[in-house]
Chains A and B, each alone.
Chain A
Amino acid sequence: MAGKQVIDVTTNRRHLEGLGTTGIGVGLVICVVGIILALIMNSVAGDGGHSEDHGDHSAATHEAGETHTDGHDKDAGHTDGHDGGEGAGGHGGGHGGHGYIDQYHWLHSYLMNFCYFTGIALAALFFVLLHHLAKAGWSTVVRRLAEGVAANIILMGLLSIPLLLWGDHVWLWLVEGAAEHDALLKSKEPFLNKTAWVVFTVAVFGIWSALVLVYRHFSIRQDVDGDVKHTHVLQKIAPPAMIFFALSITFFAFYYLMSLDAHWFSTIFGVLFFGGSLMAFMAFLTILCVILQKQGLLSTAITNDHYHDMGKLMFAFMVFWTYCAFSQYMLIWYGNIPEETGWFLLRQGGEQSIIPFTSDPTGWITFSLLFFVGHFFVPFFCILSRHVKRSKTALSVGAGWILFIHWVDMYYLVMPHVRSEHAITEQILIDVAFFLGIGGLFVAGTVFWLRQASLIAEKDPRLTESLAFENV
């Protein structure tokens, strides 16, 4: 009652209009810059790499398989002294010894950034589904933006093609005949085989895209006719869609990230990927809102109260990610079973050094520690206070950090499986190049979808509630 006055959304600018073209242009320019950078770096870094041929590749696989099946540590990929802990780790180590600098070395960078942006788009889809599932009120003002981000699923589906084509340079289990020499891969063949993987990818991207299009379609239809029944329909689809989402994102994470070390497994892995992605999406959404408002769009519709809630969710999922990551680490550390510890040994190798990357190039320990500090302690103290969450500037700084650290998370998941003797500066530039390349397309895609309709769900029955929302 004391609250703010009723906001009239019609006084806000709600269409991108000319800005849309600019936005797409900027996105494409960033993308081109990324591609050019990638090409340059590829020719520089690729010098020593071409001498290694394909045969080496399968030899590494072979070796990894042996180390596992006979249970001995033949592959001295690590300095850690845990007896027998190298079975699964040796897999990554064997690969890392040769891998990054062949002509397809950019695929790991590509994969990492692909997973980064796919995760964000998926989390946007989750946000939309959750909005309908929970019949949420406050998020109505930002839901159209989330729908726009989610629609990038279609783009990400297209971007999965290079991985489908050249995946055998990333996932060793995809290499022809890999399972012949590896009893574990053999036992996993019903899941880890090319056909299943391609069918899975096509199917989930297809269904995700269909879901996004359905949600956007009815949402935009409602802008015109204001019919409440659209809301009913979307609410009806939400529960089964959510079930599909939970299962599909889990197996997406299993296929695309966990199976980089095909010997390693962790039941919580899917949940972990989901938590991190949702956190990153909340940061992305926050920054998107800030940028739009800077351009004079939705200037009074999105208020500090909405930012406060986005900040809370960002914070909550940061903590959730930490909780899952700690559970995974602590349980594996405590159990200390060889087939599980390898994955972490790979990330704990080397000597500790205060400056990252300066010690042993295969040494990930410093990186891992800094990563954890950056993923928990920094954002924890950064966005704990409600004053920060209610300030656009402060919250965008926090959100920017979150986006960065989630990128580091993807780096942490993918790169230990390839890093080797080459200088880190060259490699990190390729990672950045692909970040720009895919990120530019992602931005262009977001703007592409956003400019097709109003930026706000104009006639959503809960829009009044959302506009009047106050965060106590």
Chain B
Amino acid sequence: MHAPATQPRAQVKEAGVLAEFDTDEAIMEAATKVRDAGFTRWDCHTPFPVHGLDGAMGIRQTILPWLVLGAGLTGVCAACLMQWWMNAVDYQFVVSGKPMWSLPANVPIMFEVMVLFSGLTAFGAMFALNGLPLWYKPQFRSERFRRVTDDKFFVWVDARDPKYGEATAFLSGLGSNHVETVKEVIE
């Protein structure tokens, strides 16, 4: 029923449906309804983080803070071990009459390494948990979707959603000013 394939081996199929909204209030309302309608593979796309949208979408808290805590503790231990082994075991020399193993003098580096590990983890975990970098998304095929980084708000329902069949009709009923089906070419 959809557009026929233009090339012999390439196949065009629907990737999902996009509904465009003008304001953050509108997308909040829409998101609540989409969630309550029981869609599972869907998302909102917004130019800025909309306050309260996580709740409206029913997103669970991320585990990222725990990863960072783990990395921080690892950092402290690693720095402590490193300084102990390098200065008190492997290569001993006396400086300004301090003991080889001088904990107060080792605290600054323990702190810095803790922050370094935690920061790298927070950054890396943001990428990993978000599946980034991912330079292609079917949404990018929509010309109108370019304004998602400017001032437009979108609800996206993926074609793999079990309730995808009713998505277009449902989204049209949410007061969206434009509902569009996004197709992608599969080779």
Q: How far is the CA of A223 from the CA of B28 in the complex (A)?
A: 37
Smallest Cβ-Cβ distance to A472: which chain B residue = B51
Contact A334 B104, CB 8 Å, known A1-B24, A1-B25: yes
B94 near A: Cβ within 8 Å? no
Q: How far is the CA of A336 from the CA of B97 in the complex (A)?
A: 10
Query: In the bound complex, do residue A2 and residue B107 qualify as a contact, i.e. CB atoms below 8 Å apart?
Result: no
* Closest beta carbon of chain B to A64's beta carbon, Å: 27
Smallest Cβ-Cβ distance to B98: which chain A residue = A334
Overall SS of chain A's interface: loop
A233 near B: Cβ within 8 Å? no
Query: In the bound complex, do residue B107 and residue A1 qualify as a contact, i.e. CB atoms below 8 Å apart?
Result: no
Q: How far is the CA of A2 from the CA of B51 in the complex (A)?
A: 7
Query: In the bound complex, do residue B107 and residue A3 qualify as a contact, i.e. CB atoms below 8 Å apart?
Result: no
User: Using Cβ atoms and an 8 Å threshold, which residues of chain A touch B107?
Assistant: 326, 330
User: Using Cβ atoms and an 8 Å threshold, which residues of chain B touch A333?
Assistant: 104
Among A2, A329, A333, A472, chain B packs the most CB atoms within 10 A around the CB of: A2
Count class of interface residues, chain A: 10 to 19
Query: In the bound complex, do residue A334 and residue B105 qualify as a contact, i.e. CB atoms below 8 Å apart?
Result: yes
Overall SS of chain B's interface: helix
Query: In the bound complex, do residue A1 and residue B105 qualify as a contact, i.e. CB atoms below 8 Å apart?
Result: no
* Closest beta carbon of chain B to A286's beta carbon, Å: 22
Encoded as 1 (CB less than 8 Å from any B CB) or 0, chain A from 312 to 343 comes to 00000000000000100110011010000000
Smallest Cβ-Cβ distance to B97: which chain A residue = A336
Contact A1 B104, CB 8 Å, known A336-B97, A472-B51: no
Q: How far is the CA of A472 from the CA of B52 in the complex (A)?
A: 9
Query: In the bound complex, do residue A2 and residue B97 qualify as a contact, i.e. CB atoms below 8 Å apart?
Result: no
Query: In the bound complex, do residue B56 and residue A2 qualify as a contact, i.e. CB atoms below 8 Å apart?
Result: yes
* Closest beta carbon of chain B to A161's beta carbon, Å: 41
Chain A residues 1-58 with CB under 8 Å of chain B are 1-3
Q: How far is the CA of A421 from the CA of B107 in the complex (A)?
A: 35
Smallest Cβ-Cβ distance to A336: which chain B residue = B97
Query: In the bound complex, do residue B97 and residue A1 qualify as a contact, i.e. CB atoms below 8 Å apart?
Result: no
User: Using Cβ atoms and an 8 Å threshold, which residues of chain B touch A334?
Assistant: 96, 98, 104-105
Chain B residues 30-52 with CB under 8 Å of chain A are 51-52
B122 near A: Cβ within 8 Å? no
Q: How far is the CA of A330 from the CA of B111 in the complex (A)?
A: 14
Query: In the bound complex, do residue B52 and residue A2 qualify as a contact, i.e. CB atoms below 8 Å apart?
Result: yes
Which of these, B55, B69, B98, B105, contacts A2 with CB under 8 Å? Answer: B55
User: Using Cβ atoms and an 8 Å threshold, which residues of chain A touch B98?
Assistant: 334
Query: In the bound complex, do residue A330 and residue B28 qualify as a contact, i.e. CB atoms below 8 Å apart?
Result: no
* Closest beta carbon of chain A to B166's beta carbon, Å: 26
* Closest beta carbon of chain A to B79's beta carbon, Å: 15
User: Using Cβ atoms and an 8 Å threshold, which residues of chain B touch A472?
Assistant: 51
Smallest Cβ-Cβ distance to B53: which chain A residue = A2
Chain A residues 363-392 with CB under 8 Å of chain B are 384
Smallest Cβ-Cβ distance to A326: which chain B residue = B107
User: Using Cβ atoms and an 8 Å threshold, which residues of chain A touch B55?
Assistant: 2
User: Using Cβ atoms and an 8 Å threshold, which residues of chain A touch B96?
Assistant: 334
User: Using Cβ atoms and an 8 Å threshold, which residues of chain A touch B51?
Assistant: 1-3, 472
User: Using Cβ atoms and an 8 Å threshold, which residues of chain B touch A336?
Assistant: 97
User: Using Cβ atoms and an 8 Å threshold, which residues of chain A touch B69?
Assistant: 384
Smallest Cβ-Cβ distance to B24: which chain A residue = A1
User: Using Cβ atoms and an 8 Å threshold, which residues of chain A touch B52?
Assistant: 1-3
Smallest Cβ-Cβ distance to B104: which chain A residue = A330
User: Using Cβ atoms and an 8 Å threshold, which residues of chain A touch B97?
Assistant: 336
Q: How far is the CA of A326 from the CA of B111 in the complex (A)?
A: 12
* Closest beta carbon of chain A to B1's beta carbon, Å: 39
User: Using Cβ atoms and an 8 Å threshold, which residues of chain A touch B105?
Assistant: 330, 334
* Closest beta carbon of chain B to A237's beta carbon, Å: 35
Q: How far is the CA of A326 from the CA of B55 in the complex (A)?
A: 42
* Closest beta carbon of chain A to B147's beta carbon, Å: 22
Q: How far is the CA of A424 from the CA of B122 in the complex (A)?
A: 48
Q: How far is the CA of A330 from the CA of B107 in the complex (A)?
A: 9
Q: How far is the CA of A1 from the CA of B53 in the complex (A)?
A: 10
Encoded as 1 (CB less than 8 Å from any A CB) or 0, chain B from 128 to 167 comes to 0000000000000000000000000000000000000000
Query: In the bound complex, do residue B104 and residue A2 qualify as a contact, i.e. CB atoms below 8 Å apart?
Result: no
Q: How far is the CA of A28 from the CA of B33 in the complex (A)?
A: 58
Query: In the bound complex, do residue A329 and residue B104 qualify as a contact, i.e. CB atoms below 8 Å apart?
Result: yes
User: Using Cβ atoms and an 8 Å threshold, which residues of chain A touch B25?
Assistant: 1
Give 8 CB contacts A-B under 8 Å. Answer: A2-B28, A2-B53, A330-B104, A330-B105, A330-B107, A334-B96, A334-B105, A336-B97
A2-B52, A3-B51 known, 16 other contacts, Cβ within 8 Å: A1-B24, A1-B25, A1-B28, A1-B51, A2-B28, A2-B53, A2-B56, A3-B52, A326-B104, A326-B107, A329-B104, A330-B104, A330-B107, A333-B104, A334-B104, A336-B97
Residues of A whose CB lies within 8 Å of any CB of B are 1-3, 326, 329-330, 333-334, 336, 384, 472
Ranked 7 nearest A-B pairs via Cβ: A2-B52, A330-B104, A333-B104, A2-B55, A2-B28, A1-B52, A2-B56
